[in-house]
Structures are given as C-alpha cells and as structure tokens.
Amino acid sequence: MGDFLQPCVQIEIRSVIQFLRHQKKTIAEIHRLICEIYGENTIDIRNVRRWCQMFDEEKSSVMDEARSGRPSSSRTSNNVSRIDALIRKDRRIRISDLARRLNISVGSVSQIVYDQLRYRKTAAR
C-alpha cells in the first residue's frame, strides 16, 4: 500500500481484507474486490498477500506496529522554541548558522522557520 493513502483509508482497506479473508475469499478475489471499490492504484496484490498471511497467523490488529529506529526529532517544539529565541535575539542570523548551532539539518531549520514560525525572511543579503 503506497504512502499516498491516508492512514484512515489504509486501516479501512486492511479491515476489508481481514473481513474478506474470514469469508474464505482467495487473495486474488480480495485484490479484485478492493480494486473495484477503491480503484486500481490502491493496493497491490503483494500487500494483500502479506496482510492475508498476517491475518491467517492470528494477527487481529489492522494498525501498523511500532517500528524501531531513530525517531525524527528535528521538528519538536523544543527546536521550534530554540530557533525562535535565536532569531529574536539576532534577526540577521542565517539558516545555515541556526542549523550549525543547533546541530540539525538546514532543511529542518528552513521548514521550522518558514512553515511553523511563519517568518518570511532571515538574513537577506
């Protein structure tokens, strides 16, 4: 299932897969029915097969399980407040200077400055 689907639609489709699997439908039948209802670009047969196997192994939840790994922390409220404080202290500070001082990526700093804090310019030189 692609990342382009909203999480609620993903859960809905998984619920349909679970229901149809309990109705003893084959993987091909389930895929065909989902494509009829949700469209051709919704889910591929490989993912239908994967979810059917999980449901056959007594998995009952249609939610994604928590994944291990490093969580994204660059856009936390702590970073937003730190960036805001630095900009208020020195209105001529550059994005690259903020990124270097806070040890986060330039892209994350830009996103915070422009999208979250809604500042229009920083250090226009």
Task: Please write the tens of the pLDDT for every residue from 11-28.
Answer: 889 889 999 988 999 999
* Amino acid occupying residue 27: I
* CB neighbour list of residue 98: distance below 8 Å, 6 or more residues apart: 83, 86, 87, 109, 113, 122
- Would you place residue 71 in the very low, low, confident or very high pLDDT band (cuts 50, 70, 90)? low
Which CATH code, of 3.90.320.10, 1.10.10.1450, 3.40.47.40, 1.10.3210.10, is assigned to 7-56?
1.10.10.1450
Task: Please write the tens of the pLDDT for every residue from 36-64.
Answer: 988 877 889 999 999 899 888 877 777 76
